[in-house]
Amino acid sequence: MKRTFGIVIILSTLFITALSGCNEISSTPQLVSKAEGVFSESLAHDESSEAKEAKTEFYIGETAELDKVQTTLIDVTESTGSEYNQPNEGNVFVLCEFEICNNSDTEIAVSSMLSFEAYCDDYTCSGSFSALLEKGDKNQLDGTVAAGKKFTGVVGYEVPEDWKELEIRYTPDYWNGNDIVFIANK
């Protein structure tokens, strides 16, 4: 009973912190830089300045900026689990590593449960605590990032082993309603 109460308190605190978010509002994410990713081979996108301003999807290695917060999907890796932690039959764990650089004047909250939603081949998929057990020495993507600081962490999902595309929507500021969409292709 005490454990359940503790979890409720932690989740409530994370929720309230996530809602406080950034105060500045920007209309759309902007492309900051571009690099080739491990899973994504579809990086042949238009590089014109007009395309950068209107860009709505970002791929592995690309950095999006929204409200002075830069977010990069660094890497996407698959795992079949370990001896005592395995995905359901026909599934794999997918670990998505992000770097968040807070260039704003205020601290921001990042919650893998509240700030991220994902779709695998257009079907919704929830974050997986089992997948996070396979993150190794990497951080889970939950916490706060002080102004001028960076944070690197992992969110995990359990998806069918024959998945083709994973779409991850990151909402840095819940009240603002703007998302940054990252795409990973197998």
Answer whether residue 26 shows pLDDT above 60.
no
Could you read off the pLDDT of 126-162 as tens digits, one per residue?
A: 899 999 999 999 999 999 999 999 999 999 999 999 9
135, HSE (Cβ side, Cα atoms, 13 Å): 22
Q: Dihedral through CA 22, CA 43, CA 136, CA 14, nearest 10?
A: 20
Cα torsion angle, 141, 38, 162, 133, sign: negative
Cα torsion through 116, 37, 147, 142, rounded to 10: 40
State mean pLDDT over 51-76. Answer: 86
pLDDT surpasses 70 at 97: yes
DSSP secondary structure string for all residues of 135-184: -TTSPBS-EEE-TT-EEEEEEEEEEETT--EEEEEE-S-TTT---EEEEE
pLDDT above 70 as % of the chain: 68
Q: Please give the pLDDT value at position 28.
A: 58
Q: For position 11, what pLDDT does the model report? A: 52
DSSP state at residue 87: P
Residue 172 has a CB neighbour count (10 Å cut-off) of 26
For residue 64, what pLDDT band results from cuts at 50, 70 and 90?
very high
Look up residue 10 and give its amino acid: I
Mean pLDDT for all residues in the chain: 79
Residue 29 predicted with pLDDT over 80: no
| Ordered domains of the chain (ranges, CATH) | 2-185 (2.60.40.1240)
Say how many C-beta atoms besides its own lie within 10 A of residue 60's C-beta: 24
Q: What is the pLDDT of residue 25?
A: 40
Of 33, 109, 24, 95, whose CA–CA distance to 64 is shortest? 33
Q: What is the pLDDT of residues 163-174, one digit of tens each?
A: 999 999 988 766
Q: For 30-169, where are the alpha helices, taking DSSP H only? A: 49-54, 129-132
Q: Residue 56: beta bridge partners?
A: none
CA–CA separation, 166 and 159 (whole Å): 9
